[in-house]
Amino acid sequence: MGQARGEVAALHAQLEARVQQRTQELQAANEELSAFAWSLSHYLRTPMQLVMGHADLLVTLPEEERAAHAEGIMQSIGRMSEMLDGLLRYAERHLKPLESRPVPLAELVQGAWTELAPGADVQLVTHALPVVMGDAAALRMVFRNLLANATQHSRRREGARVVVRASLEGGMHVIEVQDNGVGFDPEAAQRLFRVFSQLPAGQSFEGLGLGLADVWRVVIAHGGHVRTEGRPGEGASFFVSLPAAPGQVLGAPASA
């Protein structure tokens, strides 16, 4: 009887843990959906207001002055179309189920760097990198985005370089992608991973903000975490934690 009660109690505890985990996942999804809707409304409002402003002027202006405002309308519509296309691709990427198999990061990072083809202006330095468990295609996108971000914000500096290194913490590999670029205000760190996130002038991370949002979503889906450190003018580091593959060993250091 005592053993049966113990088994029931253990099963009950497991079920409670699963319910709690699922509740947290749903809460996080709802929070992200709310932030997503707010961001969409906020960032589409500006080009829409520009379209309306130009359209109002077209009604009142003489024929010879309308061309410039018509061009303004087309530019604003193009910007909205770019945003919506980016959102569609972002949503499609996260509808696909993730695989879980050993992924050698040394090979993956080198392949992502080759795809970027940043040229001789930026040097890649990789320390020993591990084998992790995850979806190879999704993780390739993660590191391609991180390397592209690091390259973009360091290439104008003399001696620009990107360093990728790893450490093992509690059964998880923590991968750091470090650059010596423009950096950013630490208070803005969490904003970098939101859809449509943009930093103030002088610290701008170009594009729609979907690349780093992709990084966050994929790493969280792998059971990992993402964080970043940086200071204006002192470069930035992005850290992602990923589950270690059973019996894995670190890859050989390399540089490019």
Domains by residue range for the chain, with CATH: 2-93 (1.10.287.130), 101-255 (3.30.565.10)
Q: For the residues 203-221, what does the mean pLDDT come to?
A: 67
Quote the DSSP letter at residue 234: S
Could you tell me the sign of the dihedral formed by the alpha carbons of 45, 46, 47, 52, in that order? positive
The pLDDT > 70 percentage for the chain reads 68
Q: Which residues contact 17 (CB under 8 A, 6 or more apart)?
A: none
> Angle, nearest 10°, between helix axes 136-152 and 210-221?
140
Name the pLDDT band for 206 (thresholds 50, 70, 90). Answer: very low
Q: Which residues contact 160 (CB under 8 A, 6 or more apart)?
A: 121, 122, 123, 151, 154, 179, 180, 181
The model's pTM is 0.62
* Predicted confidence (pLDDT) per residue in 43-79, tens digit: 667 677 777 777 777 778 787 777 777 777 787 787 7
pLDDT surpassing 50 at residue 201: no
* Predicted confidence (pLDDT) per residue in 176-189, tens digit: 999 988 887 766 66
pLDDT surpassing 70 at residue 203: no
Q: For the residues 250-256, what does the mean pLDDT come to?
A: 49
Give 94 or 233, the one with higher predicted confidence. Answer: 233
Please count the residues of the chain: 256
